[in-house]
Amino acid sequence: MNSSTETGPAAGERDDVRPPILLVEDEPTTRLLLARQLARAGYAVEAVCNGAEALAMLKKRFFPLLITDWDMPEMNGVTLCKAVRLLPLEGYIYTILLTAREGKANLIEGLASGADDYLTKPPDDSELRARLNTGERILKLEQSLRVANRRIHMLSITDALTATFNRRYLMERLPQEIEAAHRHQRPLSVILCDVDHFKQVNDTYGHQAGDTVLKSVTAILMQSIRKDIDWAARYGGEEFLLALPGASVTAAMALAERIRAQIQAHVFEFNGGTCRVSASFGVVGHESSRSGEDAGIDRLIGRADRCLYDAKQSGRNRVSGEPPDSGASGSST
């Protein structure tokens, strides 16, 4: 039997939107009655007739709540509960095992399979609602925990001053970009940017002014790169690294030159005054045909750093770059 949606009008009329439920029951009359019972409680219900169908459905769509019968053909409820706990899902699924079986041994077996709760058939309407309310509270707690964990993770990879990614993120993410470039045989370019004579800004105007300059430079960088494709990280005190997946060295050189010109033309304002700064850039491309140590992060950043050094030595406020797998560098002002 193919899956079908069995919902009542009450599901769309409630102000408090409740999570959808996947109902698994092989007996058609019982399935229909349970679906109506759940719809009256305000839930949208998707109903299937066995565990195999339920598992296939969960791989296509996420259901925070799962109510499953125990005894079913093809895949029973206990086997389904075990399989669900092994799925890579976007969140937790609160599972209620529904059965005519009674006794402590069955309760223990059901909970041991991964079910969160256990109800005997036919379920009392008020008891079913109470158990689902408990499930919703647990789901909200789980969701709050995931949000908190994501926030903590973002704080751990974000530079506190500039709000770009930090060096920790860079050292984790750049090897992944290199591997992706190698796997898909696509270009990857890296720009290393350093604010020229930044120590003089701090010494002349104070560290708060210096912080303002770094924030403003960051804003220019972030406005210049592609959203959700490129990314920026603070590599050092006044150094930033831009990763440009899919971008050729020629395109990266052009981007670096545009950023250089914007920084040079910008008037940096802070409490008590204004100033101008410039920046130097080292640009390199990853050679996607390389693998192993030759394609590592140390080599790529090392090449970018050498190009940046060339730009500094050539008078600063310029872009210096080299193509993939090349020892020669060129510069532009």
Integer Cα distance of 227 and 199 in angstroms: 31
Per-residue pLDDT, averaged over 304-317, amounts to 97
Integer Cα distance of 47 and 98 in angstroms: 14
**Residues 160-188: pLDDT tens digits?**
999 999 999 999 999 999 999 989 999 99
Integer Cα distance of 53 and 76 in angstroms: 11
Which pLDDT score, from 0 to 100, does residue 125 have? 85
Kindly report which listed range (84-98, 228-242, 298-312) carries the lowest average pLDDT score.
Answer: 84-98
Which pLDDT score, from 0 to 100, does residue 16 have? 60
Kindly report which listed range (94-108, 115-129, 249-263, 267-281) carries the lowest average pLDDT score.
Answer: 94-108
Mean pLDDT of the chain: 87
φ, ψ of residue 264 to 5 degrees: the values are -60, -35
**Residues 107-143: pLDDT tens digits?**
787 788 888 988 888 888 888 899 899 999 999 999 8
Burial class, 120, CB count within 10 angstroms (exposed 0-12 / middle 13-18 / buried 19+)? middle
| Domains of the chain from N-terminus onward | 4-155 (3.40.50.2300), 167-332 (3.30.70.270)
Query: Across the strands, what pairs with 120?
Result: 99
**Residues 22-43: pLDDT tens digits?**
999 988 998 999 999 999 988 9
- Assign 144 a pLDDT band (cuts: 50, 70, 90): very high
**Residues 52-97: pLDDT tens digits?**
999 999 999 999 999 998 888 888 888 898 999 998 888 899 999 8
- Collapsing DSSP to helix, strand or coil, 168 comes out as helix
Those residues with Cβ within 8 angstroms of residue 292's Cβ, 6 or more apart along the chain or in another chain: none
- The residue with greater pLDDT, 18 or 300, is 300
Residues 209, 270: contact at Cβ < 8 Å? Answer: yes
**Residue 238 annotated to the active site:** yes
Integer Cα distance of 309 and 331 in angstroms: 11
Which pLDDT score, from 0 to 100, does residue 290 have? 53
Asked whether the predicted pLDDT for residue 292 surpasses 80, the reply is: no
**From the candidates 25, 46, 177, 238, which is the catalytic residue?**
238
- The residue with greater pLDDT, 14 or 76, is 76
Percent of the chain, pLDDT > 70?
A: 89
Which pLDDT score, from 0 to 100, does residue 75 have? 87
Which pLDDT score, from 0 to 100, does residue 291 have? 52
Cα separations in angstroms, 229 against 163, 233, 247, 301, 324: 17, 14, 10, 19, 20
